[in-house]
Every structure is written in structure tokens, then in C-alpha cells.
Amino acid sequence: MSVSVSQAGQVLQDLFGLTDFRAHQKEVIDNVLAGRHTLALLPTGYGKSLCYQVPSQMLPGLTLVVSPLIALMRDQVVGLTARGIKSATYLNSTVSEDEQFARVDAIRKGLVKLLYVAPERFESSAFRSLLKEVEVSLLVIDEAHCISQWGHDFRPQYRSLAGHLTEFQASTVLALTATATPGVRQDIVDSLALPNMAVIVGELDRPNLHLEVVEAKNAAVKDGFLLQAIARETEPVVVYVSSRKESERVAQFLKSRGFKSGCYHAGMTGDARHRVQKQFENEDIKVIACTTAFGMGIDKGNIRRVIHYNLPSSLESYFQEAGRAGRDGKPAVCTLLFQKKDIFTQKWLLGKNYPDDNQVTDIYRLIKGAGLAGVRWQELLGSLNIEAPALNGALDHLRSIKLVDVDSRGTLYDGMPDRIDPAIDLQPLRQRKYRDQDRLEKMIGYATTRTCRRRSIIAYFGQRLSDSCTGCDICHPDLFYQEPVDSHSASGSSGTSGSGRGSAQSGVSGSGSTHGLSNNVELRRDILELVRALPGRVGRTSFAKILRGSKAKDVIEAGLDRQETYGKYAALSNDDVLGTIDGLIEEGLIRKVGSMYPKLSLTATGKKEISTSQ
């Protein structure tokens, strides 16, 4: 191509008012301008959008961006227009028919350089025909982890994008994500099946973010923590909650205590969400209590604290949402309020997302029985004893295996009308449920670990800290402020004193202040040695029993009491020992073997750790 990175730097300065690219931004843009297909994993807050927005103003044809959220499209286009970039637009269900025609006409005439669409747009034959008429210089797949069946947010519409690539000529494909484990990254590459696809992985550790978990025994204690933590912040705070109802309750609670706050969730109208978002961006309100619908594309650098009021379902979700904090590079705090009840709530929600085998069969038979007339989602929900999330999960699966089709109006049809009774492969659905359960267990492990939180979360994404921890409540409890208080005595925005970050209340325990086994080098070494001595023979619970000197029948009969370290750590609690074992698993030093009753063995990294410590 005739364009270069040096020209990209000029575009960055002229249109976006920035003087320099970050290291991996420059590498990604270089690949795009050179026509190399690329998958880029860059942390939240790193400026992934610039990786395609800058090239879009330089490439000869259209830059087509596939984005999962309609609200995000609007925000991006509004922001670009404010910078004087008039050649960006979007096509989605919020645009009137007349306006759609006008925008399509502008695309045909080459007046649009940057177009945002949802993946469902590719189900329209008219849209696919449009793409054949224009030059697509760059196809961008934002939130590319949605492609992967191994990912935490799999969407069949995303996975089907690979099949549409052959229908039009996109010179270059750029896939972007902030949350993808090594397995998910490989699945994305395999699914897209593009020649010589480059993979760029940025450094995921953000040293300015201080990570803490605060254990709370009930919601009242969580509310007390909110009052103190928010009162100590002079800059904006985001509070993530698990439901729309909770978003409204928390926002109202904070208002009643004198804080300027608002709520944000998908159940609000588009105008209402946009109004609250602008109030937050302009700092007319200090705190926003929101569901996961908030955050994507928010360009606000000075969020000083992100608080998760409830346990997220995965480390991917937590990492992405916590990453909204401290985008300006200054210190910020990411707090998870952990109540043991949250574990049962998340497991209950996970169960609701998955149908049983009979429900999947019944859904397909109803769709097949409807013939050419098809059936609507609401009809299925009314005809079956099934929860809406489980129905969506079943339909996503049936669509992914090509047994169900859907038209642009949302009507569902039999995908194989010529076959009388096609077999339904349910194994992929079962595997996805197992992987979601495993992701939840990893999230619980992060909340309960007694080892470095930063090291464990970075290890989950396949990286290792290149230096020592720069701030978590396990390694640096001194960074986190602690003062007893509860929601009844806390006074809100006035009447609080002191400084610093973090907090612990009556009924609350900061994990870093009560434990601190991350520096127990001897225990770590003994666990690794014990796993080396019993590779693949016993699970994590049995290892804890050995180290604590359990007299359990299974320990004695198996001769595990003859191990050299048997009973050496009898003074420690079971949670402390298990937490240290889990930390070593999270760091990638120990791996689980088997799925139903996993045993432990050393990884190559774990073996190396032992050899270097001797």
C-alpha cells in the first residue's frame, strides 16, 4: 500500500489530537496498512479503536466494523463526528427506513469511510449484496472473543462471520479483543482461517491498578463499604452490579446519602442511557451504578475506582470491567466485594442459561413443525416451560449447528427442511456449559486466593509478571485503607475522614490483611515438591489433607501419611493451604488433569521453578 505509519502519525495528530501511538497500537496499524490479517489482544483502556479509526481515514475503500452493541456504535460515531470526521456512520435497527436508504446510498457513492454494523446485519442478503458493490479495505471484528466457542461470550452470529468472508473481498481483516486466553486466541485464528494471520499480544498487566477483594457478610456491609470508599474519592467511580434492579437500588441508595449518582442498564431507553453516560463523562454525576451494559467504548481516563458489588461470572468479564479504571495511567483501585452468597447466585444464573437435552429437542421440533411459516421467539417461550436465557442458549446452539435459520425479522425456520429427523449434536452445548462452570470456578479462585492477585489474573491469560507485584491486597496490604464502619453509621459524602485507598468494615475482611501466604516460600516449595512426588495421583483437597496431617480414612489407606511433609502445616487452616495450591494453579505452575475428579501434576514451568529454587 502507498500509505505508511509516518502518515498515520500525522492523522493521529490532526484528527485525534494525540502526538504518539502506544507501542502495540503502532504495530497493529503497521500490519493493517501493510495488508496483513491480524488478531490483536490489547488490554482494556489501551485504545483499540484507534487501531482501525486511524487507518480508516487513510485506506482507499470502506472500513467495516462489526460491533456487538448498538449503543457503542452510536457513541463511536458521535465522538468521531465531534472530532470533525464526517465520514463515519452505522446501520442498525434504531435507524429509520428512509435514513437507512440514505446511508446505503452514501456508502455506494464512497462517501462513507467507516461503517459500524452488528454481526446480525450479515444475515441480510441485501447487505451482503451491498458489500459486493463496494471496496472493503478493512474488516474489523471488535470483541473478537465472541467468535470462540471456548470464550466467555460466544455468539453464533460472530462465528458465522468466517463463512461470509468468501462472499465479498475484504483486503485485510483485523480482529480485536481485550480478553482472550491462549486457547480462545487459537480458536479465533482457526475459525477465521485466514492465511498467515499475525497475532499481537500486548502486555496485559497494568501496574497502576491496585487490586483488592473485600469479604462482606451481607448487602448492608457492602453498602457501608460503598459509602466510605466513594467518599474518599475526588474523581469518578463506577460500581458494577449484577442486575437492573440492583443498579437502580444502589444508585438511589447513594443519592439518599448525598452522592451525585446515576444508574445505567440495558432496560433503559437509548436516550436515557445516553443522557446518564454524558452526565458521567461531564462529571455532573460522580458515581454510576451499572450492569455490564455500561463501559464498552467509554473514553474517560480519570475513573479512580471500579467496584464490583457482585461476583462476576468470569475473570474475562472482571478483567475487562475493572480495566475501565485508571486509563490516564495514574493509580486507581479495583475492588471486588465478595459475599459467599454470590457464589450460589452465579451458579443459579449459570444453570438458567442452559437448557436440558429434552428442551433443545422440543424447541427444534416446534420450529420444524411450523414449516415455511416459521415461528417467533415469543411463541416458543409461551409454548414451552423454559426460561428465556435457556431458550436463547438452545437457539444459539441450534443455529451454530445449522439446524435453525433466522430471517431479518427474527422469524425462526428449520435449517434442514429436507431431512425428516436430523440428529442434534448436543455435545458442544454441554462443553460450553462445562467451560462456563470452569470460568466461574476460576473467578471464585481469584476472590478466595491467598496468593498474589495480579500474578494469578495475568497467568489466567497466559502471561507471567515480568517484575514484582505493584499493588494487590495480598502483597501490599499497606496500600489499602482500613477503618471499621457499617452502613448504618456511615454518613455518606460528609462526616468521613482520613485518606488512602481500600477499606474494611464491621463484617468485612480485606483478604490481604487477614492472610498473606503469598510470601510463604517454604509452603509453596513443599506443595510443588509434593505434587512432583505424586503426579496425577491425587487432587487438591487430598494434598491439603496431607500437608495438614489429616487422619481421614482415604489418606491413611492410600499411604499418603508417609509423605515427608505430612502434617507439617497442621497449624494452618484448610482454606489457607487450598488457597496457596489454587494460587500455584493460577500461576501456571500446577495443572489439573481430568475433568470430573481432576488430579494435580506439575507443568513445565512448575518443574523449572523447583529446579531454580534448589
Write out the residue range of the structural domain in which residue 259 sits.
Answer: 209-346+484-514
For residue 203, pLDDT beyond 70: yes
pLDDT of residue 4: 65
Q: Three cell numbers at 503?
A: 477499606
**Pairing state between β 209-216 and 287-290:** unpaired
Of 13, 7, 14, 69, residue with least CA distance to 32: 7
Residues 510 and 597 reside in one and the same domain: no
- Helix then strand count (H, E) for the chain reads 25, 18
pLDDT of residue 321: 92
Residue 614: how many other CB atoms lie within 10 Å: 7
Cα angle 531, 533, 534 (rounded to 5 degrees) comes to: 65
Helix (H) or strand (E) holding 40: strand 38-41
Residues 185 and 232 reside in one and the same domain: no
Which of 201, 229, 261 delimits the end of a domain? 201
Q: Three cell numbers at 526?
A: 513443599
For residue 536, pLDDT beyond 50: yes
Residues 129 and 146 reside in one and the same domain: yes
Q: Which amino acid is at 492?
A: G
Q: How far apart are CA 429 and CA 425, in angstroms?
A: 8
Helix (H) or strand (E) holding 413: strand 412-414
Q: How far apart are CA 504 and CA 483, in angstroms?
A: 6
Is residue 291 domain-resident?
A: yes
Lowest mean pLDDT among 40-49, 345-354, 402-411, 475-484: 475-484
Q: Which amino acid is at 210?
A: H
Which of 497, 514, 531 delimits the end of a domain? 514
Q: pLDDT > 90: what percent of the chain?
A: 50
Of 148, 101, 94, residue with least CA distance to 126: 101
Q: What is the CA radius of gyration of the chain?
A: 26
For residue 322, pLDDT beyond 60: yes
Q: How far apart are CA 178 and CA 122, in angstroms?
A: 24
Q: Which CATH number covers residue 26?
A: 3.40.50.300
Enter the pTM of the model: 0.76
Which one has a higher pLDDT value, 314 or 76? 314
Is residue 398 domain-resident?
A: no
Is residue 435 domain-resident?
A: no
Q: How far apart are CA 606 and CA 158, in angstroms?
A: 37
Is residue 585 domain-resident?
A: yes
Which one has a higher pLDDT value, 68 or 107? 107
Which of 201, 217, 232 delimits the end of a domain? 201
What's the pLDDT tens digit per position in 218-242?
Answer: 889 999 999 999 999 999 999 999 9
What's the pLDDT tens digit per position in 421-471?
Answer: 888 999 989 988 998 999 999 999 999 888 899 999 999 988 888 778 889
Cα-to-chain-centroid distance, residue 269: 24
Is residue 158 domain-resident?
A: yes
pLDDT of residue 498: 36
Of 216, 219, 74, 104, residue with least CA distance to 505: 216
Q: How far apart are CA 131 and CA 190, in angstroms?
A: 24
Q: How far apart are CA 102 and CA 85, in angstroms?
A: 18
Residues 38 and 95 reside in one and the same domain: yes
Of 568, 449, 574, residue with least CA distance to 517: 449
Q: How far apart are CA 369 and CA 367, in angstroms?
A: 5
Q: Which amino acid is at 387?
A: E
Residue 529: how many other CB atoms lie within 10 Å: 17
Residues 488 and 534 reside in one and the same domain: no
Q: Which CATH number covers residue 567?
A: 1.10.10.10
pLDDT of residue 284: 96
Residues 190 and 296 reside in one and the same domain: no
Q: Three cell numbers at 356?
A: 436440558
Q: pLDDT grade, residue 23 (50/70/90)?
A: confident
Residues 188 and 269 reside in one and the same domain: no
Residues 241 and 184 reside in one and the same domain: no
Q: pLDDT grade, residue 298 (50/70/90)?
A: low
| CA dist list (Å): 23 to 143, 207, 436 | 21, 16, 33
Residues 6+ apart with CB under 8 A from 492: 227, 231, 257, 258, 259
Residues 6+ apart with CB under 8 A from 37: 172, 173, 174, 192, 194, 195, 196, 197, 198
Is residue 408 domain-resident?
A: no
CB 576 within 8 A of CB 515: yes
Of 448, 456, 437, residue with least CA distance to 589: 456
Residues 14 and 132 reside in one and the same domain: yes
Q: How far apart are CA 441 and CA 436, in angstroms?
A: 9
Residues 109 and 187 reside in one and the same domain: yes
Residues 166 and 233 reside in one and the same domain: no
For residue 402, pLDDT beyond 80: yes
pLDDT of residue 141: 96
Q: To the nearest whole number, what is the mean pLDDT of the chain?
A: 86
What's the pLDDT tens digit per position in 173-195?
Answer: 999 998 888 889 999 999 999 99
Is residue 275 domain-resident?
A: yes
Residue 225: how many other CB atoms lie within 10 Å: 25
Query: Residue 189 phi/psi, 5° resolution?
Result: -60, -45
For residue 570, pLDDT beyond 90: no
Residues 571 and 493 reside in one and the same domain: no
What's the pLDDT tens digit per position in 153-173?
Answer: 888 888 888 888 888 878 899
Of 35, 38, 12, residue with least CA distance to 201: 38
User: What is the number of domains present in the chain?
Assistant: 3
What's the pLDDT tens digit per position in 136-148?
Answer: 999 999 999 999 8
Is residue 425 domain-resident?
A: no
Q: Three cell numbers at 335?
A: 475492588
Query: Residue 396 phi/psi, 5° resolution?
Result: -60, -40
For residue 526, pLDDT beyond 60: yes
Residues 6+ apart with CB under 8 A from 246: 289, 309, 310
pLDDT of residue 162: 86
